[in-house]
Structures are given as structure tokens and as C-alpha cells.
């Protein structure tokens, strides 16, 4: 029986790998997710028939409650709230690994086992609270700004040292519960301290990093309970999360250390003076320009998610196409609050994915674009990243909308983006500002086309 | 006979490399579903948790295991469903 269970874990691992592989292409992604979930089902059923289990009521209650919460959350969540939902699920996974590590503690545990228990508690704990803070920031339950205070570095270093010390003591005296409690408490505290100094716009990096941690926590828990499938699946997730994190960092031309520790976004406005004049435009005038345009690109950012404007944007895109124009969407890798955030929102609005161009695809052809419509994006289209060496985002690859013939910027007011970085784009000769709520402005354009 | 720690570490090493290879060429369009799909897989802790929740000992470890089962199930069920919901929306241009 035991050998059968172990072999079914091998099958499950193969299905996870195959599923992840298929998740890599839009045409097969949905099937890939299904395959991976079948792998999970096989793994769970095999674990349930294990002879070591003598009592099922706790398991069944846990699975039933968890399934109810999971189904409800997955069904009810709005697409715009997806980043915080993913963060929350992630946190639960981390907490589960912490608990498994803790529960695996037995008086007979050897040193290797104790170290893996500490690791699963540590990584699981910081994933849990880190994800909760990320959830708070993304849902704006707490301020999404970077929280910095004097001596932060010192406090954090002290926490890390205390974690190391108490982990060491725990391994020496595993029967003394106070060291264990200390490790648990400090890990939870460290998760909070690690995420509060990171500003809202850096969330794509944080989310993918926490995702990676939850995998590593599962992996550590696998060592703690001596289970292969946890190690394989956990490390697959850990590795994939790290890759995504790297892609996000590269898209901002910043190192991971800079994202995690610099408190980017808490700094005051800096950089050179911007010269020029802001030129507002009315919806009506914007309509006349769009009607004459043959090549139009939308550049969405987090503001589109906030305004829930994706559906009306799709409507406008269709009208423009009927009018004979070529319409594309230019997506910056870190636009929004999680990797691929804009793609999900536009998919929700039925925009076909082959109309979404990545930054590297849109930039070479941006000069042929008649009108670039920037919706709630700021830093990802900021030409200061190319032109102003004094700018904090200098060197970050951006979508060069200022090279389009005309740029419409939809914006509530002249307030700067996160970090208070001035955006020279707003002052360029070919830029027109369409002030107001993005959803209403686009809605106004749609009505103009209708009349 | 290879000591089990070494064997497990071997598995870890190979899986990490495999993970890197699998993910490195995914288009940006799929980053969110990929992340939440991977996130669902990280709920694999559930497999470890059921063993601890079913010992019948009614001790602390048992209770911790039961709580872990609940939390990991949220992660697994919620993660897969949300990913499927997102992927169902991705469409290629007709015609």
C-alpha cells in the first residue's frame, strides 16, 4: 500500500510539471491548470488512504470548511480585486506550512529535522503576515505608501539576529517550548516589518516574491514531515516565483534589494524642473482627433483598475475599429499591482489577448501610432526614465508614448504618481490632458461616437 | 544506501532547476494566472497536514494539523478556481 501511495505522488508530481508547462501558453493554459488540479487531487486522495491515519473527523471538517471558504472567495472576488485575493490565498498557504512544521515537532527529532522545522515555521510565518500586509495595502485597508521610520534598518537587523539566535537555541533545546514560541512570534513580526516599507507600485515584485516564499515554506514543511511531493511541488513554486520576481525587477531596472529595502515611494519629490505648459483637452475635441486617427494605442495602468474602466475602454476600442482604425494595447510589465494585472482586466472585458502588446513589441512601432491614450498610467510612461538622470526612475524601461504623434493622458488631476516623481510627459507639445474620472471620460468618448 | 536527507536534497535541487526552466519563457499575458496557479500548487502542504490531523492523538500537534488542513484547503481550492476563472476569460481574436 505504502509503495502505491509513493508512486501516486510521482504521478502527481508529473502532472504538476506538465500543468505548469501548459500554463505557459495562452492556448493551453486552462487545460494546464486543470491538469495540475488533477495532480493535486491524486496527491490528496493518496495521502488520505495512508494507513497512519486513524481518525478522519478533523480532516473532513478542515477540508469542508476550507473548501467552502475557498469556493466562496474564488467565486465572489471582483477581477479588480484579484491581486489582494491572490495575496490572501498565498498567506493561508504560508500559515498552513508554519502549522505543519510546528506539528511535525516530536521529542525524537534529529538536528536535520529540527532545522527544517524551524525553516518551515520561519518562511511560513513571514509569508503569512507579509501576505496579510500586502493584502491590506492592495485593498487600501491600510495605507499603500511605503512606511519608513528612523532606525528601521537597525530594528530589522535586530529581529533577524533574534530569529537566528532563538532558532539556534530551539535546535539545542527542542523540548523547551519558549524558543519555539519565540521563533513563531518573531517570524510573524518579521513578515510585517519586511513588507511595510514597500510602496504600492512595487507590489508586483512583492506578490511574486511572497508566492515564491509560500512554495519554499511548503518545501521546508516537506522536509519536516519527510514527504517527497511537498518538496517537489514546493520547490517548483519557489523557483517559478523567483523567476517572476526577477522579471518584475528587470522591468523596473532595479535590483531586488533596492525594491525590498529602499523604501521607494516614501521619498519626497525630487528630480529636475520640468518646463512647459499643460494643455487640457475636452472630450469633444478628443473625439475629433480620434475619429481622424488610423492607428491608436491604449496604455493602461493601475488607474484603469481603480476606475473600473476596462469594459468601457473595450467599448471605445471596438468603436474605433469600426471606424477603420487599428487598435492595440501596450502593456508595461509592471503596470498595475501584480504581474500581468492589466492583461487579466482586459481579458475580463473580452479584449482578445493577441491585441495586447508587450512593451518590447509596442515601442518599435510607437512612432506610427497616431494617438496613444494613457489611462491611469504614470511612471510606466514617464520619459524622465530616459531623459532625466536625476529622476529616481532613471533607467527604467518605459513605453515611449511621447514618441507617438499625439498623446492623450487621462488623469484625475495633476497630482504626481507614486513617489511624487514629476512626469515631463504632461508638458510635452504633443500631449493633451483629459482631466476627470477615466471611466467617465472614456464613456463620454463612446457617446460622441454614438451620436 | 543513500541517506534520506541527501536523497531529499537531490530532489529539491532538481525541482528548482526544473521550475526555472518551466517558467522562464512565459509571456507577460499569463503572469497572473501562472502566479495564482503556482500559488494553488503551494497548497500541497495539505498533503502533509492530513497525516498530522489524522493521528487520533488529540494533542497539540493534532490540532495544529487540523488547522493546517483548513488553511491549505482554502489555498488549494480557492487558488485553482480563481485561476480557472481568469483563464476562461482569455480569448483569441475571432475571425
Which residues in B lie closer than 8 A to residue A96 (C-beta atoms)? 43, 45-46, 49, 68-69, 71-72, 75
B59 touches A at CB < 8 Å: no
Predicted confidence band of residue A330 (pLDDT cuts 50, 70, 90): very high
Predicted confidence band of residue A391 (pLDDT cuts 50, 70, 90): confident
Q: Rounded to whole angstroms, what are the CA distances from A404 to A91, A99, A328, A370, B45?
A: 42, 54, 13, 6, 50
Q: What is the predicted pLDDT for the residue at A142?
A: 86
- Record: contact A93-B42, CB cut-off 8 A: yes
B55 touches A at CB < 8 Å: yes
Instruction: Please write the tens of the pLDDT for every residue from A161-212.
Output: 999 999 999 999 888 889 999 999 999 999 999 999 888 778 888 999 999 9
Residue A432 has pLDDT above 50, yes or no: yes
d(CA B95, CA A72): 36
Nearest CB to B72; choose among A71, A93, A243: A93
- Record: contact A36-B41, CB cut-off 8 A: yes
Predicted confidence band of residue A269 (pLDDT cuts 50, 70, 90): very low
Q: What is the predicted pLDDT for the residue at A407?
A: 94
Average pLDDT over residues A286-292: 92
d(CA A170, CA A102): 12
Lowest average pLDDT, out of A17-21, A65-69, A418-422, A430-434, goes to A418-422
DSSP structural state of residue A381: G
Instruction: Please write the tens of the pLDDT for every residue from A344-379.
Output: 999 999 999 889 999 999 999 999 999 999 998 888
d(CA A428, CA A442): 22
The domain ranges of chain B are 28-89
pTM: 0.89
Residue A191's φ and ψ, nearest 5 degrees, are -60, -40
Which residues in B lie closer than 8 A to residue A242 (C-beta atoms)? 20
Residue A438 has pLDDT above 70, yes or no: yes
Q: What is the predicted pLDDT for the residue at A400?
A: 94
Predicted confidence band of residue A17 (pLDDT cuts 50, 70, 90): very high
Average pLDDT over residues A7-21: 95
Dig out the grid coordinates for A90 from the structure: 498565498
Q: What is the predicted pLDDT for the residue at A268?
A: 44
Among A379, A402, A429, A437, which one carries the catalytic annotation? A379
Predicted confidence band of residue B67 (pLDDT cuts 50, 70, 90): very high
DSSP string, A349-369: TT--GGGEEEHHHHGGGGGG-
Residue A155 has pLDDT above 80, yes or no: yes
Are the C-beta atoms of A261 and B40 separated by less than 8 Å? no
Q: What is the predicted pLDDT for the residue at B21?
A: 87
Nearest CB to A347; choose among B5, B62, B89: B89
Which residues in B lie closer than 8 A to residue A228 (C-beta atoms)? 8, 11
Predicted confidence band of residue A415 (pLDDT cuts 50, 70, 90): low
Residue A286 has pLDDT above 80, yes or no: yes
Q: What is the predicted pLDDT for the residue at A143?
A: 83
- Mean residue pLDDT across chain A: 90
- Record: contact B39-A86, CB cut-off 8 A: yes
Closest-CA distance, A270 to chain B, in angstroms, reads: 31
Predicted confidence band of residue A413 (pLDDT cuts 50, 70, 90): confident
Closest-CA distance, A186 to chain B, in angstroms, reads: 19
Which residues in A lie closer than 8 A to residue B51 (C-beta atoms)? 47, 50, 52-53, 225, 227
Residue A273 has pLDDT above 70, yes or no: no
- The CATH architecture of the domain made up of A283-450 is 3-Layer(aba) Sandwich (3.40)
- Record: contact A70-B94, CB cut-off 8 A: no
Cell numbers 491585441: residue: A355
CB pairs under 8 A between A and B: 379
- Record: contact A53-B54, CB cut-off 8 A: yes
- Record: contact A66-B77, CB cut-off 8 A: yes
d(CA A333, CA A349): 19
Are the C-beta atoms of A30 and B88 separated by less than 8 Å? yes
Residue B26 has pLDDT above 90, yes or no: no
The domain ranges of chain A are 1-76, 78-266, 283-450
d(CA A223, CA A14): 20
B85 touches A at CB < 8 Å: yes
Q: What is the predicted pLDDT for the residue at A72?
A: 96
Average pLDDT over residues B28-33: 89
Are the C-beta atoms of A239 and B16 separated by less than 8 Å? yes
Is A379 annotated in the active site?
yes
Predicted confidence band of residue A265 (pLDDT cuts 50, 70, 90): low
Which residues in A lie closer than 8 A to residue B16 (C-beta atoms)? 235, 238-239
Instruction: Please write the tens of the pLDDT for every residue from A71-130.
Output: 999 999 988 888 899 999 999 999 999 999 999 998 888 889 999 999 999 999 999 999
Which residues in A lie closer than 8 A to residue B94 (C-beta atoms)? 352
Residue A257 has pLDDT above 50, yes or no: yes
Residue A420 has pLDDT above 80, yes or no: no
Length of chain A: 451
Closest-CA distance, B1 to chain A, in angstroms, reads: 17
Query: Which candidate in B33, B38, B87 is best for mutational testing of the A interface (most A CBs within 10 A)?
Result: B38
Predicted confidence band of residue A151 (pLDDT cuts 50, 70, 90): confident
B81 touches A at CB < 8 Å: yes
d(CA A134, CA A121): 19
Please give the sequence-ordered ranges of beta strands (E in DSSP) within A100-142, or none if there are none.
none
d(CA A330, CA A325): 16
Which residues in B lie closer than 8 A to residue A222 (C-beta atoms)? 8, 44, 48
- Record: contact A55-B26, CB cut-off 8 A: no
Residue A378, Cβ density class (10 Å: 0-12 exposed, 13-18 middle, ≥19 buried): buried
Average pLDDT over residues A46-63: 91
Dig out the grid coordinates for B28 from the structure: 507577460
Predicted confidence band of residue A37 (pLDDT cuts 50, 70, 90): very high
Average pLDDT over residues A25-48: 95
Amino acid at each position: 500500500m505504502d509503495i502505491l501511495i509513493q508512486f501516486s505522488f510521482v504521478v502527481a508530481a508529473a502532472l504538476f510539471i506538465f500543468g505548469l508547462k501548459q500554463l505557459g501558453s495562452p492556448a493551453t493554459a486552462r487545460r494546464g491548470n486543470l491538469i495540475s488540479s488533477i495532480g493535486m487531487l491524486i496527491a490528496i486522495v493518496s495521502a488520505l488512504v495512508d494507513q497512519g491515519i486513524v481518525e478522519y473527523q478533523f480532516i473532513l471538517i478542515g477540508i469542508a470548511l476550507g473548501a467552502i471558504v475557498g469556493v466562496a472567495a474564488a467565486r465572489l472576488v471582483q477581477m479588480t480585486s484579484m491581486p489582494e485575493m491572490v495575496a490572501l490565498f498565498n498567506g493561508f498557504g504560508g500559515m498552513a506550512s508554519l502549522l505543519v512544521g510546528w506539528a511535525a515537532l516530536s521529542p525524537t527529532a534529529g538536528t536535520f529535522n529540527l532545522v527544517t522545522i524551524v525553516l518551515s515555521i520561519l518562511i511560513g510565518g513571514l509569508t503569512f503576515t507579509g501576505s496579510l500586509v500586502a493584502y491590506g495595502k492592495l485593498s487600501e485597508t491600510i495605507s499603500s505608501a511605503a512606511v519608513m521610520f528612523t532606525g528601521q534598518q537597525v530594528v530589522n537587523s535586530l529581529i533577524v539576529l533574534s530569529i537566528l539566535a532563538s532558532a539556534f537555541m530551539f535546535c539545542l533545546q527542542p523540548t523547551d517550548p519558549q524558543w519555539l514560541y519565540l521563533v513563531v512570534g518573531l517570524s510573524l513580526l518579521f513578515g510585517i516589518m519586511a513588507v511595510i516599507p514597500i510602496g504600492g507600485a512595487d507590489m508586483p515584485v512583492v506578490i511574486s516574491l511572497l508566492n515564491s516564499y509560500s512554495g519554499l515554506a511548503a518545501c521546508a514543511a516537506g522536509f519536516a514531515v519527510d514527504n517527497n511531493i511537498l518538496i517537489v511541488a514546493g520547490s517548483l513554486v519557489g523557483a517559478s516565483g523567483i523567476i517572476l520576481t526577477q522579471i518584475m525587477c528587470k522591468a523596473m531596472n532595479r535590483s531586488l534589494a533596492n525594491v525590498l529595502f529602499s523604501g521607494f515611494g516614501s521619498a519626497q519629490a525630487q528630480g529636475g524642473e520640468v518646463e512647459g505648459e499643460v494643455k487640457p483637452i475636452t472630450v469633444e475635441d478628443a473625439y475629433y482627433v480620434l475619429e481622424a486617427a488610423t492607428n491608436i494605442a491604449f496604455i493602461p495602468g493601475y488607474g484603469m483598475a481603480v476606475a473600473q474602466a476596462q469594459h468601457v475602454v473595450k467599448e471605445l476600442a471596438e468603436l474605433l475599429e469600426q471606424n477603420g482604425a487599428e487598435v492595440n494595447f501596450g502593456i508595461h510589465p509592471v503596470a498595475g499591482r501584480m504581474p500581468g494585472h492589466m492583461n487579466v482586466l482586459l481579458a475580463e472585458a473580452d479584449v482578445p489577448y493577441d491585441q495586447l502588446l508587450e512593451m518590447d513589441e509596442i515601442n518599435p512601432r510607437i512612432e506610427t501610432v497616431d494617438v496613444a491614450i494613457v489611462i491611469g498610467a504614470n511612471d510606466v510612461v514617464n520619459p524622465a526614465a530616459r531623459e532625466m538622470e536625476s529622476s529616481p526612475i532613471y533607467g527604467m524601461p518605459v513605453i515611449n508614448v511621447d514618441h507617438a504623434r499625439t498623446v492623450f493622458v487621462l488623469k484625475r488631476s495633476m497630482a504626481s504618481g507614486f513617489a511624487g516623481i514629476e512626469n515631463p510627459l504632461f508638458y510635452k507639445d504633443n500631449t493633451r490632458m483629459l482631466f476627470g474620472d477615466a471611466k467617465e471620460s472614456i464613456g463620454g468618448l463612446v457617446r460622441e461616437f454614438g451620436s | 544506501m543513500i541517506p534520506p536527507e541527501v536523497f531529499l536534497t537531490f530532489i529539491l535541487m532538481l525541482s528548482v532547476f526544473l521550475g526555472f526552466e518551466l517558467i522562464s519563457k512565459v509571456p507577460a499575458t499569463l503572469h497572473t494566472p501562472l502566479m495564482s496557479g503556482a500559488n494553488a500548487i503551494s497548497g500541497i502542504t495539505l498533503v502533509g497536514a492530513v497525516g498530522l490531523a489524522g493521528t487520533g492523538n488529540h494533542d497539540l500537534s493534532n490540532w495544529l494539523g487540523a488547522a493546517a488542513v483548513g488553511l491549505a484547503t482554502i489555498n488549494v481550492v480557492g487558488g485553482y478556481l480563481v485561476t480557472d476563472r481568469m483563464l476562461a476569460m482569455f480569448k483569441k481574436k475571432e475571425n
